[in-house]
Structure 1
């Protein structure tokens, strides 16, 4: 009898231990697990924007700059990474940086995987050097205005390069004398990520860095990043887990298949994640906005301008967030403001959260006057593709625009494949622009020159040599099949105006002078207003959820810092 009870007791203990070990959230112990959409695998290039916002965020996981963008509860900070400042900027605007040549590249380690067991050992050491920095700056310069890093570096340095190093591994940068440079300004300029010398300049993916995590080979579409043995990350693994679309992400977090959700549907608070015992949230500045872009081949300018005045963006916003209903999608911004929906309305190609609107570089009109109903089309045929993220948001907007109570059946939105959009078979396209920056680095190429193939990310920028030997933008950048607006420089009615816009866009993206950049922003805003190329709807809040497995005090997402800028500092709760 006693033996029977002992056996039963032992079984109960074994079952209890197995249950604890196999319970979903225990499978993710010492792990950061993030979802992604299965058919949108990340493509990582630290110098170029990607179609998938997650790709750009992963730069912070893999790579370092001379200084890294970080955050604390008070705001943005910059931390030493592959370099450190020696003193302050000199009277002649020279900055001295000491390179940390003791830092190893990830390919210095041997990685052995056996199911879930990962062993990392020392291999042939490959140390960071000034040659790697020189290579990285050369690639940034070759990419030109296609790279946000080029825009940041070129407007600050007299030449994109440095002198040195000396015997102390110190190098010097010469900064322009057009402003007073603070230490924070200098570190921001030098926060571009660094690749090892000899990296393939046209690689589809870059995975060798010096950052807090090493990239392992994907397995069954699960991407694994493992703690750098010489780094200071607190949590051992980062996983990217594939799912069909973002509509299930909150449920996956609730069921503990993931423990980190970087973006919620609609950017709103989730009712199923409101239990503070299991979940907490953090807000960031908006990075996504929706717009209707007109096909200029089908919709003439006078109609575009009247349609833009006619569409009640505030009513669309109200329906989108179900404002003042029992189903209201509540929001909170990174400043702690709650349900400030109107702040997300956009009145320009530059979103309201962007530097150019907040600093009043451009001053959009909030109202456009009365509408000439006679100029409205009988039906505006709009197409949208739900297959590349934000499925729930697109579906909601399709229902809103198709509501006869709002638009009297004069707008008809249908969901289509990306091929139909690529072929220009629409009067207007409903589209979300993701990953935009609210700083002065706002990307206009993404809006005006991105090719209309949503299955890949390609900018159709063509340059040529001008009379003075410098690069100028070519009208060949505007070809009907190469942008969502179907703008073409050879358009007999509007071609000259399209080229005028193109030149302002290129000037904005390529100038090395902040004053010129601000002036070009005004030109772009004014010219687009005259052309009526789109209806700029609203931005979507950026909200992240985490399981209380993590210590909330260890995660800072302040302002414009990337959501993964502080990932090496994330910690689990002490048990």
Structure 2
């Protein structure tokens, strides 16, 4: 590669069979995709388990491949070949997939880096094989319903196994015969990310993939990824830069310290980034909602119903987006509609933007009956934590809820350390539930079984095999100090029977292989939660991403259930005029 040296710019040299890429310290971010992250929340990627750090889930698409990869175009979500190629499906639902054995794992390459350069050279080619696929399927099977991929695979291939490969590198999966499988359906089932066979089953994180970018290392808390020599990504470098919180992200984009912002404060169109000749934005389906989870140990059923009735989510949303004021926060959705605020209001544990409400599987009750607020404590004590994701949005909600003109001074929200949340000294806790999917793979564990910890995603799931050989969920899954609601099946309460039924429905919903059964369990969960009044579901946050016009907007597609980084290898810089 022969280019003139530009002072404090970029130098690309061919050296000893490897490539050396020089970084630069001006605000020229050419040939880089630079994203922010919260400094004390370094993303640890597990491609099969949800993360409490949103950017970690999105990095799946940067590091790993599935047999097929979810992508997007202007028409919607699509699936492309990854480590496999679809061959055929016969009348007996035998699906043949040809593997791509020439794909190399990232640890095939030697990576060295310092403040000035990254050097990449091949040390030993380690190719993808069917053994890697078998290991990954086994891991997903062992993870069980804690993994969204388990639900996806098990409803098609309960055996989690395949035949082959033959001499042509083809393997065969036997799919269930209870539905007509389209090519798109098949590719979705096999879009889970694949790990090498010698990976640990339960590592704290994974970074050895075959995806478009390999993880090069860290310098001064900047996390560097470089285009894999085995991939045709257009932009060479991806960099994650650390910041204290998300409140400065828009300013950092304006000051050219970053060039991509995957989420804006409040999910709103940024007034700071108003100059359209320098930035453009793209919307996708919401993946986060705010809610109040009620403490069943401190509030009885009548009090919970009264609190839910008192909390007017529309008033809160109007304040949050400052609707009707000069400071109104404007929004836009992926369909190109502006300021459609009420579409984000939620009245069920299933958000309005989820598949279950959009397709009328669940029809939430928008008129909430309940006792008079006089049954409530003099002051409802709510806690939240502001040291992790959505800090700015949660802080705004704290201010809104503490406004005596809104709820007559009946509510007091206290900001506390993460460790204090675990003690359960609250009537309700204000949370941001992130990472939910708009398709049928909605994560109920993230709501009901997640341990009360804003920093780390842990699910308190206990199962066993009953006398009939069937896997069942155990009562220990509902222990007071292991969920935000403080539900405990080890103690007597008037609603113990309903809590037990709710736990069974949650497990049934998460573990079933059948979409029809999922719909059945979803309706039951919605009904039970409504009767038990376990929370106030407030509203979802619009999903809006900003990009510098350094990039060609026509090469960046965001749509539906595709991750915002699903097409990152196709992003291109705009041609200079």
TM above 0.5: yes
What's the offset of the Cα at 1:59?
0.3
8 Å CA contact 1:153, 1:160 repeated in 2: yes
What's the offset of the Cα at 1:490?
2.2
8 Å CA contact 2:115, 2:219 repeated in 1: no
2:271 matched residue in structure 1: 271
1:109 matched residue in structure 2: 109
1:224 matched residue in structure 2: 224
Point out where structure 2 has 5 or more consecutive residues left out of the alignment. Answer: 1-5, 11-23
1:39 matched residue in structure 2: 40
8 Å CA contact 2:388, 2:454 repeated in 1: yes
What's the offset of the Cα at 1:115?
2.7
Q: Give the CA RMSD over aligned residues.
A: 1.4
Q: Deviations over 1:62-98 (max 9, x none)?
A: 00000000001111110011000113x2111111000
Secondary structure of 1:216's counterpart equals strand
1:499 partnered with 2:506: no
1:549 partnered with 2:537: no
Distance 2:387 2:237 in 1: 29
What's the offset of the Cα at 1:371?
4.8
8 Å CA contact 1:310, 1:371 repeated in 2: no
2:333 matched residue in structure 1: 333
Point out where structure 1 has 5 or more consecutive residues left out of the alignment. Answer: 1-16
Number of residue pairs matched? 558
Secondary structure of 2:214's counterpart equals strand
**Would the alpha carbon gap of residues 434 and 24 (structure 1) be closer, same or farther in structure 2, given more than 3 Å must change?**
farther
1:140 matched residue in structure 2: 140
Distance 1:479 1:158 in 2: 31
2:255 matched residue in structure 1: 255
Secondary structure of 2:440's counterpart equals coil
Q: Deviations over 1:314-373 (max 9, x none)?
A: 101100000111110000001111000000000100000001111111110111146523
Q: Deviations over 1:296-315 (max 9, x none)?
A: 11000111011111211110
Q: Deviations over 1:267-303 (max 9, x none)?
A: 0000110111211101010011000011111000111
Secondary structure of 1:349's counterpart equals coil
Distance 1:113 1:432 in 2: 37
1:179 matched residue in structure 2: 179
8 Å CA contact 1:25, 1:256 repeated in 2: yes
What's the offset of the Cα at 1:18?
4.9
Secondary structure of 2:66's counterpart equals coil
1:455 partnered with 2:455: yes
Show the 5 A alignment for 1:379-390.
Answer: 379-390=379-390
Distance 2:145 2:353 in 1: 22
1:407 partnered with 2:415: no
2:365 matched residue in structure 1: 365
Secondary structure of 1:469's counterpart equals coil
Secondary structure of 1:452's counterpart equals coil
1:440 matched residue in structure 2: 440
Deviates more, 1:112-121 or 1:268-277: 112-121
**Would the alpha carbon gap of residues 333 and 122 (structure 1) be closer, same or farther in structure 2, given more than 3 Å must change?**
same
What's the offset of the Cα at 1:558?
1.1
Distance 2:417 2:201 in 1: 32
Distance 1:99 1:222 in 2: 35
1:14 matched residue in structure 2: none
8 Å CA contact 1:71, 1:557 repeated in 2: yes
1:285 matched residue in structure 2: 285
8 Å CA contact 1:24, 1:257 repeated in 2: no
2:55 matched residue in structure 1: 54
Show the 5 A alignment for 1:337-352.
Answer: 337-352=337-352
Deviates more, 1:549-558 or 1:115-124: 115-124
